[in-house]
Amino acid sequence: MPTVPAEKPTEPHQHRQVAESFGTDAERYDRTRPRYPDALVARILGASPGPAVLDVGCGTGTAARQFQAAGAGVLGVEPDARMAEFARRTGIEVEVSRFEDWEPAGRRFDAVVAGTAWHWVDPVAGTAKAARVLRPGGLLAPFWHVFQPPSEVGEAFAAAYQRVVPDSPFDFRSVRPALETYQAIFTKVTDGIREAGGFGETQQWRFDWEHYYTRDEWLDLVPTTGPMTRLTPDQLAEVLAGVGAAIDAIGGGFTMPYATVAVTATRSE
């Protein structure tokens, strides 16, 4: 479920209260958010000139740990100090800052990545900063999980959320196909890369996979999504009750199809 307001009065990266709200429960976030395909990690490292990786919006370190396990040296940049502290406890070096404001101090990297985070970065200023810190031939590779729960679950979530937060800018009642929604994000990233300059042509890399969620597993994940992190406990409980009932009605669980998509570009010589 994309966490971008439906009416879009501003760009996603300008919604700082949402962008920096995920540390409300960093442990739950790290426990429930899915890993990224190992094939994606391997392809990014294979296309980079070396093993030095900068992870933008590294959160609790999910992707950073995967790159580290694959042999990369990883530095994370994360605006939420709570998320950064969790990542540090798992062995990731992290500096707390918005990427646009972060000072690289002359450091250079072979890849700049961002796992489900680049839409919180200014698409032009962020790309210009990536170009500044990448070595020639280095790779910019933000990536996202594209997913959409079964219609019964999505409709129950939309109805419950609209009921408890009727004036919210998030409106899930008329949900477009997930890939169509995310494609708008990918297009904005591509446009930002072209406008900032310093990179070759963009590519999209897609990795398809799936995961089975029990009722309890999905209800454990839902509170970590952007629209939910700022609800009161009572509001959250009401939304989860509606979603849980919908999952019970379809047998107590469901298989989620995922497409993990990266938008990549190589730093010009």
pLDDT at 125: 97
In whole angstroms, give the CA distance from residue 202 to residue 263.
Answer: 7
Nearest to 56 by CA among 2, 135, 118, 143: 118
Question: CATH number, domain at 50?
Answer: 3.40.50.150
pLDDT at 22 over 80: no
Residue 228 within any structural domain of the chain: no
Q: How, if at all, do strands 73-78 and 109-115 pair?
A: unpaired
Residue 5 within any structural domain of the chain: no
pLDDT at 165: 82
Residue 250 within any structural domain of the chain: no
pLDDT tier, 6 (very low <50, low <70, confident <90, very high otherwise): very low
pLDDT tier, 1 (very low <50, low <70, confident <90, very high otherwise): very low
Q: How many CB atoms lie within 10 A of CB 163?
A: 12
Q: How many CB atoms lie within 10 A of CB 169?
A: 15
Q: How, if at all, do strands 109-115 and 93-96 pair?
A: unpaired
Residue 123 within any structural domain of the chain: yes
pLDDT at 231: 85
> Are 147 and 257 spatial neighbours (Cβ–Cβ below 8 Å)?
yes
- Is the model's pTM score more than 0.75? yes
pLDDT at 246 over 60: yes
> Of 7-16, 32-41, 69-78, which gets the smallest average pLDDT?
7-16
Residue 216 within any structural domain of the chain: no
pLDDT at 157 over 60: yes
pLDDT at 133 over 80: yes
Residue 31 within any structural domain of the chain: yes
Total domains in the chain come to 1
What proportion of the chain, given as a percentage, has pLDDT over 90? 77
Q: Mean pLDDT score of the chain, rounded to an integer?
A: 90
Q: 80 or 23: which carries more pLDDT confidence? A: 80
H-only helix segments in 98-232: 123-133, 151-164, 178-196, 215-221
In whole angstroms, give the CA distance from residue 256 to residue 262.
Answer: 19
Domain span at residue 95 reads: 12-149+175-211+258-266
pLDDT tier, 170 (very low <50, low <70, confident <90, very high otherwise): low
pLDDT at 180: 85
pLDDT tier, 174 (very low <50, low <70, confident <90, very high otherwise): low
